[in-house]
Structure 1
């Protein structure tokens, strides 16, 4: 069976690994681990096609432990038990190195089955995952492991890997002259979204699907590259890490008053078709990050959100863009958000005391006998519709929750409050 090109060019030495210089560069953590020969339990976390399996295979070659490799997607507890049965055999005298791919697909019981043997050193675990291990990996395994994050590859790193793939293909197809337009490599790198495996699969398809001419030569141009690449797929999973990462970047860009970045992250969310999450996040941003600086923002956003929900995609992108730009360019204030959180914190941490008796409900027979509402002062009966009286419970009568922001709207609010209180 012919091996895929991605497997043929898989590096055998760490110096040939594309990217991950923050881990594999000189004096970086993974480089030091490999140089020492002391292999500890590790969890490789990062998107697909960035070298996690490659590095695990390199580690397997430098250790004298028996190497096992299983994929949690289709493995079971029985697969783990079979490895455990081998632990005291002649083949495993130096212990076992277990590479567990996609560990997030193992449930708690399956992950727990490894703990005893990780503890006594009979199993050294290298696990990989595309999901945040702090959300999906059992805490006891996390505490016994070093988490190393693998980054998406840059365009330049992808192009470097593609050149190597083409060189290997030229050796395999020595009777065929392979030539290509330089724009092909840049295009494939751009649409591969940091995934070298995906990029290599595309160039492999381009090479093997192009019919040689009469001179036994093939030329890969941009049109062939476009045919051999799928539509660019962004890393996005509505129940996974990327979902929250993009929403976080979206909100922080709006909060930071960067309309261009805000629209960029909105575009990512639109590409994923995640209308509900966009609408929910826009509504909360209008109150959390703009709030009292532009109180009417929530009305505009609500109208845009309602329009988007009625229209659906693709037209929904237009009111969503409007709402995003309104929020990104609006004055900012988190005073409403801070005020309610301070008040809630007091409820959790203080004895706030009872409501003043004159503020309690007095709309029933016998309320006067209980003293309810007896000394209440009706503000509308006083000048400027204001009269000084204590509204907070006695225990927290001096508490301050609302602190007006330094924006035009809230400065007007602050001046108004000062005016009526000092009149």
Structure 2
């Protein structure tokens, strides 16, 4: 359990005021924790009028929640808000350290409180995916009988990590990473609010951009970095003691600012260099540009999409597994998220950089498209037309069609393309990698299909 969540590890009645009476020496991320749903930044789908979360908070309903989202998106905060705004007791059980005994004790205490006419209890289980099946089973009686309002948080897909009975008894709320604008709002509020830095510091715009990039959509991380940068500014002394510059921000978090504008030239230049390095088979250079994009907070889904395109455009059938590798990396990005997904992106980058290269696929479709755009669109040969409806054979549809599986080698000699492009050769395989074998086979197959002699 982190220091931030440690504040909530108490079953005492005073826990209902969590996040309000925090001491001045508490971390900035703790002091700035939203006290009401309206103070929550981001997650507009959860804060909207009539949303399940707002109905739970404002209607004071008993409803168990399962919060699924990346770190720093407000899962612990939402649990505290549910407790604060509904005047319930707040008890936290950490899935990292608690066992079945602790779970049952927390539920028994909540049941006893209710039997005495006391307040209902919000039981917050952080990282519920770390609980075993037996530990999750121990939560069921409390949820079924509404002895507790369970708020369970997980960063992993609950459909894989949470037992079905618990899923079916809880309202699943999906939290998304904060946008850059959301993080800016968090930082601005912390600079000005009395609970935060109370206007004692000014933050240079390039320093603000640096903190936003480093936060990666994590509000807690943004506030932690801001607090460190403010501390660095205070240590300077003199007239500049209240100014947080980029240099101070870099020093405070021990990470240099990456000169990278996701909407400007740097975005396009670095992306271009990344793709060209993979195409050029320089794995080291490709990893450098990948690292620059990742450290600058580039959308990992954008990087994954570029690799999927490259797998067909620059490798194609020279290594048929390249597309599978790239698609798997893209799926891993969706399933795992950052920062761990950088490993999947790195693996795919290396694999695609080292793969044999061929642009035969994109060249083939470009040639075919050029003919179509030039008007070379002839009628489908009669023997290939649909012959399933009545009267089709009278029109000559499918009459002379040869079923390939009945022919030697499973290849029938007949015309497939329209007359206007009957002799077109769009796919021209290279002799590189696995495509060398395909080149030899395709040349034999083409001759058989078209009835050509080897000499042609």
Q: TM-score range by the shorter chain?
A: 0.5 to 0.7
**How much does 1:124 deviate?**
2.2
Partner residue of 2:253? 229
**For residue 194 of structure 1, what is the aligned residue in structure 2?**
217
Structure 1 residues 152 and 330: alpha-carbon distance in aligned structure 2, compared to 1, 3 A threshold: farther
State the 1:388 CA deviation.
3.8
Partner of 2:448: 420
Would you say the 8 A contact 1:290–1:330 is kept in 2?
no
Q: CA deviation at 1:143?
A: 1.6
Matched, 1:101 2:126: yes
* Distance in 1 of aligned mates of 2:194 and 2:129: 35
Q: How does 1:54-203 map to 2 (within 5 A)?
A: 54-91=77-114, 93=117, 95-168=120-193, 177-203=200-226
Structure 1's 169 and 419: CA in aligned 2 closer, same or farther, altered over 3 A?
A: same
**What are the equivalent positions in structure 2 for 1:45-56 lying under 5 Å apart?**
45-56=68-79
Distance 2:179 2:287 in 1: 18
Please point out which of 16, 20, 31 is paired with 2:39. Answer: 16
| Structure 1 residues 299 and 24, CA gap change in structure 2 (3 angstroms) | closer
What is the distance in 2 between the residues matched to 1:297 and 1:390?
25
User: Paired residue for 1:41?
Assistant: 64
Structure 2's unaligned 5+ residue stretches are 1-22, 257-274, 281-285, 296-303, 324-345, 363-404, 411-424, 430-437, 452-456
Q: CA deviation at 1:173?
A: 6.7
| Secondary structure, aligned partner of 2:26 | coil
Q: How does 1:356-395 map to 2 (within 5 A)?
A: 388=407
Map 1:241-390 to 2 at 5 A.
Answer: 267=290, 294-298=316-320, 320=351, 322-323=353-354, 326=357, 331=361, 388=407
Change (3 A) 1:6 1:87: closer
Q: How many residues align?
A: 305
Where 1:89 maps in the other structure, the secondary structure is helix
The CA deviation at 1:88 is 3.6
Q: 1:99 to 1:9 in 2, by over 3 A?
A: same
What is the TM-score with the length of structure 2 in the denominator? 0.55
Taking the aligned partners of 2:321 and 2:158, their CA distance within structure 1 comes to: 39
Deviation at residue 267 of structure 1 after TM alignment: 2.4
Please give the alpha-carbon distance, in whole angstroms, between the structure 2 residues aligned to 1:97 and 1:82.
14
The correspondence for 2:243, drawn from 206, 212, 219, is 219
1:112 Cα shift?
A: 0.5
Contact 1:66 1:91 in 2 (8 A): no
- CA deviation profile, 1:157-190 (whole Å, cap 9, x unmatched): 111111111123697678xx42331221111001
Say if 1:118 and 1:125, in contact at 8 Å, map to a contact too.
yes
Q: Confirm or deny: 8 A CA contact 2:190 2:196 kept in the other structure.
A: no
Aligned counterpart, 2:326: none
Deviations along 1:113-136, one digit per CA (max 9) or x if unpaired, are 111221222222110011111121
Normalised by the length of structure 1, the TM-score is 0.59
Question: What is the Cα deviation at residue 224 of structure 1?
Answer: 0.4
Cα deviation, residue 15, structure 1? 0.9
Give deviations 1:304-325, integer Å, cap 9, x for gaps. Answer: xxxxxxxxxxx99986563589
Q: Rate the CA distance shift 1:230–1:20 in 2: closer, same or farther, 3 A.
A: farther
**8 Å CA contact retained: 2:202, 2:242:** yes
Gaps of 5+ in 1: 233-253, 273-280, 302-314, 333-385, 392-405
Displacement after TM superposition at 1:29 (Å): 3.9
* Whole-angstrom CA distance in 1 between matches of 2:71 and 2:241: 33
The 8 Å contact of residues 190 and 198 in structure 2, kept in 1 or not, is answered as no
Cα displacement (A) at 1:62 = 2.7
CA distance in 2, matches of 1:111, 1:172: 41
Q: Would you say the 8 A contact 2:322–2:352 is kept in 1?
A: no
Give, in angstroms, the shift of residue 105 of structure 1: 1.4
CA RMSD of aligned residues (A): 4.7
- CA shift for structure 1 position 231: 4.2
3-state DSSP class of the match of 1:186? helix
**Distance in 2 separating the partners of 1:300 and 1:208:** 48
Encode CA deviations 1:26-78: one digit per residue, 9 max, x unaligned. Answer: 34443344333324221111111111111111111233543311221122222
- The Cα shift of 1:268 comes to 6.3
The whole-number CA distance in structure 2 between the counterparts of 1:321 and 1:421 is 34
Segment drifting more, 63-72 vs 413-422: 413-422
